Amino acid sequence: MMTQAILPAMLPAPGPRKAIPIHPEMVNQLPGDYRADIMQIPVTVFSDGNRLYFRGPDQGEEELFAETRTRFFGTSEDIGDFQVEFVKDQKGAISHFVVQVGFGFWQFNKIKK
């Protein structure tokens, strides 16, 4: 309870976020199917033109807004505000992303492009 209600109420509100255009290279590299090792939750990341979206099980589409080439943010009716950081492997390919919701972090591994 402390990490979900008390601590966030004590922290200063984050400043407004500023979205930047998604780099064209990333629009091609980020889409694919991902799965969380914990709970085996599948998520699909897809693009529509130069916009990026994700869809989880029993969820609608949520747009991802770029802050950098690999860091994104968004808001979902189901989970609230979230941040996503895509991570590359040693060969430069996207291997997974880490999503942060509040104080929780979950890793989703890319299973299919």
**74 compared with 39, residue with greater pLDDT:** 74
Q: How many domains does the chain have?
A: 1
CATH of residue 77's domain is: 2.40.128.50
The whole-number average pLDDT for the span 86-98 is 95
C-alpha 112: how far from chain center = 17
Residue 8: in which H helix or E strand, if any?
helix 7-10
Specify the pTM. Answer: 0.81
Q: What is the pLDDT of residue 2?
A: 47
Domain containing residue 35: 2-112
Q: What is the pLDDT of residue 94?
A: 95
The predicted-structure confidence for 27-57, as pLDDT tens digits, reads as follows: 889 999 999 988 888 999 999 988 999 998 8
Q: What is the pLDDT of residue 23?
A: 85
Q: What is the pLDDT of residue 8?
A: 53
Confidence of residue 1 (pLDDT cuts 50, 70, 90): very low
The predicted-structure confidence for 5-26, as pLDDT tens digits, reads as follows: 455 555 555 567 788 888 888 8
